[in-house]
Amino acid sequence: MQVSEDTNDDFLFIDDSGEDEILDESGGEIWKVLIVDDDPEIHSVTQLALSDLIVLGRRLEYIHAYSGRDACKLIEEHDDIVLVLLDVVMETDDAGLNVVKHIRETLERSDIRIVLRTGQPGYAPEESVIKDYDINDYKTKTELTRRKLVTTVYAAIRSYQQIATVTQNRIGLEKIIGAAAHLLELHSVHEYALGILIQLKLLCESKSSVFCARGQGIVDGVDDLSLYILGQDGLSSVLINQKLETLKNNEASERVASCYQQKQNFYSPTCLALYLASGSYKSVIYIELEQELTEIDQQLIEVFLTNIAIGYENVHLFQKLRNAAYKDWLTELPNRLEFVNLLDNFGQNNSDNSLVAGLIDINHFSDINDGLGQDLGNQLLSAVANRLKSLGEQCQFARVGADVFGVIGPSEKVNPENLTALFNQSFSAGEQHLPINVCIGLCSKEDAGSRGVNILNQINIALNLAKKNQLEHFVYYKKEMEEETLWRLGMIRQLRTDFAEQRLEVWYQPQLNLTSGKVIGAEALLRWRTSDGKFISPVVFIPLAEYSGLIIEIGDWVVNQACKQIKRLEEAGFDDVGISVNVSIPQFRRVDFVETVIEATKIHQVEPKKLELEVTENILMDDPQLVIDALTKVKAEGIRIALDDFGTGYSSLSYLQKLPLDRLKIDRSFVCDITKPGKSILADTIINLGKQMNLRVIAEGIEDEAQQEHLKSLGCHEVQGFYYAKPMPADEFLTYLRNHQ
């Protein structure tokens, strides 16, 4: 519809109707116009003049104010007024201008159009007012013919609508920019999908919407080419990760499929299918509309889609990165980093106190890996991961280390019985069926800290104890363990520095021939005197030295000290006194252990037979063959071997027979009660066993004469104990020898 300026101006109140070209079919909507004039007649003629006018498809509706004050009130009450036809002079000369200020300054309404009218030319406002207050037109009433009024009103309303459109566009664009910024913060595909649907709801009133894409690589365990629902709004959350068909909406299925294939948006009055793609990531958003979209809405949606498409690709790339950072590539389980995050949740989840978190460590996995190859090792790990999953969906799993798995779940699922049962049957990897044993560290919610890293540490403490535990292969974390660990670490630190500062000493406890009473040798025993002069018992610090590996260096040093001592004794004329040195398991794990011992005898030029290594039965527990091989080599050099604390360990006799032994040492526990009726039977058995195996037998821990006599009657060869002498420093031992010649 067009309005042309007519040069043939008529006076306002002269009827010049018949300008049908400016009329249009009217819809239901209206433009609200406020007529402000203190002259009632102006109201009626204005209304009359504009009575049939339809502007941009809408009729006009009028409200009337007869003073500036009334006008202000009405404008506040009706926020849909688009145009004010305003008399300048009313109750005061500037009443109209006050209304203008009220609209623009107080109400900050810049969209309402204003046409000023005045009866007399002399009341024209300043030009600056017209500019500053964005006045559409200023006319004297006599200037306004009907045609002119219509043209003015028409232009004003059109300008209103343009402003409204721009404003609406601006709001829409602001929403898009805001949405894009918001969406940038979402890093999972599912969150992103939902974020987009929510933003779209703001752009077009949607009843419901779904976000669909191929599930491959996004939905766990899916590798077909069907379209899956990744996000929904206004429907049901159970639809997430389900095939689009579960929606049971044929129209949706068809629209989405064709949109996906044709790569084109589809608009209808009731629904939309929008194609969102960037790089190789494609998706379709299907929306059921509350009401039909305007053209502007459509344009905004297109702008929105172009804006966010790149973000959709990014979110996939981000997910891939995340997977690389947080997933174990082999088993596809969460990795250690992610397990720490899961433990964070576990620690902060206060609603469920029955939860338990644990670590499961496969025993001797490296043997399988080394022996059967990495491929088989990998297959085995995957098989373990799958077996773990059978604990159920309430549990979460992770691969925390090469052969360590993490688990979190309710205590009725995650407990030693269930976890152990998982490993009762062997695992198939390739052609092999491999039996597996595990150690398990557990921590229940009530004992757990709140931060994931701490909890992991707590479970680790329990796991380490489980590995050492010889009776049971699982341990629950308890608070005291941590205190103990801290204490232990402190002690190890102190031991390390004190060893470096040469605060460790080797003392000697004499060993005597029971028949002749002659000193035949001594046992070298470590002493640790700390800087404050206190002695810490070897019973306390030897296990710490073993645990920390320090025993390797310390043990080396003891062997060398013992060799030096043998040499000194020789030089002092004691040619037939040997020294026994205690050796711990970790020392055998050192590849050159045998060589270092032999080397020590050579450096100090001692006869190998004067050096004896004392090993306990437990040394055979872990890796018997390693120990047997090492001792056989040592023995071949002529160095002697004694079995310490005999009778207290768990080793099998068949292994003991393979040890190249020279002596059996009867543990102090069998000696202390030996004089009580019926209590000597074990000592007796050991002595007989020794004799049958052609070994010498030495009893240790003899504290009184009665014990000595009893041992003598049983035929024991040698003795060592406080009854004869306590362990003493090297120099004192020399004096002792001189006094006991």
Interacting residue ranges for ligand C2E, rule: CB under 6 A: 509, 524-526, 537-539, 542, 555, 558, 582-584, 614, 644-645, 668, 700-703, 720-722, 727
How far from chain centre, in Å, is Cα 540?
A: 38
Q: From the CB of 614, what's the least distance to ligand C2E, in Å?
A: 6
The closest alpha carbon to 209, from 173, 239, 187, belongs to 239
Residue 283 interface partner, choices Mg ion, ligand C2E, none, CB cut-off 5-8 Å depending on type:
none
Phi, psi of 665 (to 5 degrees): -110, 120
Residue 707 interface partner, choices ligand C2E, Mg ion, none, CB cut-off 5-8 Å depending on type:
none
Closest CB to ligand C2E among 346 and 724? 724
Please tell me whether residue 509 binds Mg ion under the rule CB under 5 A.
Answer: no
- Give the torsion through C-alpha atoms of 376, 382, 386, 387, to 10 deg: 50
Q: Identify the three-state secondary structure at position 182.
A: helix
Looking at residue 7, what DSSP letter applies? S
Q: From the CB of 638, what's the least distance to Mg ion, in Å?
A: 20
Give every CB contact of residue 524 below 8 A, 6+ residues apart in sequence: 506, 507, 508, 558, 561, 562, 565, 579, 580, 581, 582
Closest CB to ligand C2E among 179 and 554? 554
Q: From the CB of 642, what's the least distance to ligand C2E, in Å?
A: 10
Q: Degrees (nearest 5) of the Cα angle 667, 684, 585?
A: 30
Please tell me whether residue 87 binds Mg ion under the rule CB under 5 A.
Answer: no
The closest alpha carbon to 82, from 158, 179, 27, 174, belongs to 158
What is the DSSP pairing of strand 728-729 with strand 504-513? antiparallel
CA distance 253 to 143: 63
Give every CB contact of residue 393 below 8 A, 6+ residues apart in sequence: none
**Judged by CB under 5 A, which of 233, 645, 684, 718 binds Mg ion?**
645
Across-strand partners of 399? 405
Closest CB to ligand C2E among 358 and 701? 701
Phi, psi of 415 (to 5 degrees): -150, 160
End-to-end CA distance of the chain: 135
CA distance 155 to 137: 10
Closest CB to ligand C2E among 171 and 500? 500
CA distance 281 to 316: 8
Tokens at 144, concatenated: 């306004």
Instruction: Give the Cβ contact number of residue 427 at 10 Å.
Output: 21
Q: From the CB of 536, what's the least distance to ligand C2E, in Å?
A: 10
Instruction: Give the Cβ contact number of residue 127 at 10 Å.
Output: 9
Q: From the CB of 660, what's the least distance to Mg ion, in Å?
A: 18
Closest CB to ligand C2E among 538 and 660? 538
Residue 525 interface partner, choices Mg ion, ligand C2E, none, CB cut-off 5-8 Å depending on type:
ligand C2E
Residue range at the interface with Mg ion (CB under 5 A); choices 60-68, 631-639, 643-651, 713-721: 643-651
Tokens at 500, concatenated: 């470096």
Q: From the CB of 722, what's the least distance to ligand C2E, in Å?
A: 3
Closest CB to Mg ion among 70 and 614? 614
558, 719, 727 from 574: Cα distances, Å: 20, 19, 18
Q: From the CB of 605, what's the least distance to ligand C2E, in Å?
A: 22
Q: From the CB of 388, what's the least distance to ligand C2E, in Å?
A: 39
Looking at residue 22, what DSSP letter applies? G
Across-strand partners of 728? 508
Q: From the CB of 665, what's the least distance to Mg ion, in Å?
A: 6
Closest CB to ligand C2E among 150 and 737? 737
Looking at residue 38, what DSSP letter applies? S
Q: Identify the three-state secondary structure at position 497.
A: helix
Q: From the CB of 698, what's the least distance to ligand C2E, in Å?
A: 11
**For the purposes of burial, counting CB atoms within 10 Å of the CB of 222, is it exposed (0-12), middle (13-18) or buried (19 or more)?**
middle
Tokens at 655, concatenated: 């292994």
Q: From the CB of 717, what's the least distance to ligand C2E, in Å?
A: 17
How many binding residues for Mg ion (CB under 5 A)? Answer: 4
Closest CB to ligand C2E among 441 and 701? 701
Q: From the CB of 477, what's the least distance to ligand C2E, in Å?
A: 29
Closest CB to ligand C2E among 524 and 737? 524
Residue 703 interface partner, choices ligand C2E, Mg ion, none, CB cut-off 5-8 Å depending on type:
ligand C2E
Q: From the CB of 581, what's the least distance to ligand C2E, in Å?
A: 6
The closest alpha carbon to 137, from 112, 160, 158, 155, belongs to 155
- The answer to whether the beta carbons of residues 683 and 699 sit under 8 Å apart is yes
Q: From the CB of 546, what's the least distance to ligand C2E, in Å?
A: 7
Give every CB contact of residue 41 below 8 A, 6+ residues apart in sequence: none
Q: For 91, how many CA atoms within 13 A lie in the half-sphere containing its CB?
A: 11
Closest CB to ligand C2E among 230 and 619? 619
- The answer to whether the beta carbons of residues 111 and 160 sit under 8 Å apart is yes
Closest CB to ligand C2E among 150 and 719? 719
Tokens at 103, concatenated: 């609209």
Please tell me whether residue 582 binds Mg ion under the rule CB under 5 A.
Answer: yes
DSSP secondary structure of 60-74: EEEEEESSHHHHHHH
What is the DSSP pairing of strand 266-267 with strand 271-278? antiparallel
Residue range at the interface with Mg ion (CB under 5 A); choices 151-159, 549-557, 570-578, 581-589: 581-589
Closest CB to ligand C2E among 276 and 519? 519
Residue range at the interface with Mg ion (CB under 5 A); choices 198-206, 272-280, 544-552, 579-587: 579-587
Residue 701 interface partner, choices ligand C2E, Mg ion, none, CB cut-off 5-8 Å depending on type:
ligand C2E
CA distance 612 to 261: 84
Q: How big is the chain, counted in residues?
A: 741
H-only helix segments in 572-680 = 585-589, 593-603, 619-622, 624-636, 653-658, 668-672
Closest CB to ligand C2E among 39 and 704? 704
CA distance 115 to 36: 10
Please tell me whether residue 151 binds Mg ion under the rule CB under 5 A.
Answer: no
Residue 464 interface partner, choices Mg ion, ligand C2E, none, CB cut-off 5-8 Å depending on type:
none
Closest CB to ligand C2E among 199 and 584? 584
**Judged by CB under 5 A, which of 644, 661, 695, 721 binds Mg ion?**
644
Closest CB to ligand C2E among 11 and 535? 535
Residue 537 interface partner, choices Mg ion, ligand C2E, none, CB cut-off 5-8 Å depending on type:
ligand C2E
Q: From the CB of 723, what's the least distance to ligand C2E, in Å?
A: 6
x/- letters, 593..632, toward Mg ion (CB under 5 A): ---------------------x------------------
Closest CB to Mg ion among 141 and 665? 665
Q: From the CB of 527, what's the least distance to ligand C2E, in Å?
A: 7
**Which spans of this chain sit near Mg ion (rule: CB under 5 A)?**
582, 614, 644-645
